[in-house]
Amino acid sequence: MPIKFTIIQKCPDTRARLGTLQTAHGTVKTPAFMPVGTQGTVKAITVDELGEMGIGLILSNCYHLFLRPGIEVIARHGGLHRFMNWDGAILTDSGGFQIFSLGGLRKIDDQGVTFTSHIDGSTHFLTPERVTRLQNMLGSDIAMVLDQCPPYPAGQNEVREAVKRSGKWARRCKQAHLREDQALFAIVQGGVYENLRRESAAELAEIGFDGFAIGGLSVGEPKELMYAALNYTVPQLPPEKVHYLMGVGSPDALLEGVRLGIDIFDCVLPTRIARNGRVMTAQGYLPIRNSIYSTDLSPLDEACSCPVCNSYSRAYIRHLLNAGEILGLRLTTYHNLYYLDRLMQEIRKAVSENRFEQYYREVSPSLKKMYGGVV
């Protein structure tokens, strides 16, 4: 068995649940947020620092690693874990979203996707079978099927075609999947259309996978539509399997996702905004580059106990960022990842103590006020 997912406790008033995801590279407590290491690294953070925070699962991207440095290079190192010197668990995304976001640089048909590299203009053709075997070579703990992610907004006919193609590709991915020590997750599509979400989930559940992701959300739709889609999609997924919401990382959306039955999340949000000088705090986003903080000797967040907040002032970090010093990016990134990891710890504790509904009522209004504008 490549992974073992165990549900320890369920919240009686919501779909929130506490669990463990056991992999060959450690056990992850769920619900959990998964930092994104697209190109074999979580930007500005070392694997040792991720371990210090207690993070046990990260995401990398097959599409980007295929283009650079090449899957063969990584395979010669013995796989992605050894290549990046990470002994925790890895989930590899197939790159479907990245490929389809190329727009005019790609052409799709039932066989696969032809696309032009955004790096050097070279042309490539990827099929569901090839993407699956590339992830086999990477040796990640969890591989994702190749799917077609429609844009938002999109008409029902366009989304229906994407659902049909994604279902066919999922079957082909499962047939091509060769590693018994690697889990394979399906991706439910369907946009904001309940009937199509139900059809997609039913087909993928019938095929059978080790876990089920919900894709095609956090692509520009209002959060209310995303939550509505989760509300009618999650009950269609096999309850004993992992439920993974792709591309969501704002604190309010993480809390809402857990309430609706999500076990793992990923998003570039915390690391991306950190590089732009925006940090997450108990009072909301802090634009640390602003001149008002030039003489501020307080930490980024008075309520935070991370090494950054224990050791550095707002004035110093602002100085680093505005001077173009790499350390500034590292400090803001570390803090943001720490903040989200501690939020997930609080959520897990609330579920374990049978008080999640109370915790949700207390925390959700402020999180929505502070972070509701960004998924």
Q: How far apart are CA 14 and CA 347, in angstroms?
A: 13
User: Which amino acid is residue 252, in one-letter code?
Assistant: D
Query: Choosing from 252, 266, 301, 341, which is the catalytic residue?
Result: 266
Q: List C-alpha distances in Å: 269 to 34, 63, 121, 375.
A: 11, 19, 28, 8
Q: List C-alpha distances in Å: 64 to 51, 59, 218, 227, 262.
A: 24, 12, 21, 29, 26
**Contact between 36 and 268 (Cβ < 8 Å):** yes
Tokens (6 digits) for 313: 């002032």
Tokens (6 digits) for 297: 């000797």
- 93 as an active site residue: the answer is yes
Query: Choosing from 93, 210, 252, 341, which is the catalytic residue?
Result: 93
Q: How far apart are CA 210 and CA 212, in angstroms?
A: 7
Q: List C-alpha distances in Å: 109 to 168, 186, 205.
A: 12, 20, 24
- 141 as an active site residue: the answer is no
- Positions annotated as catalytic residues are 93, 266
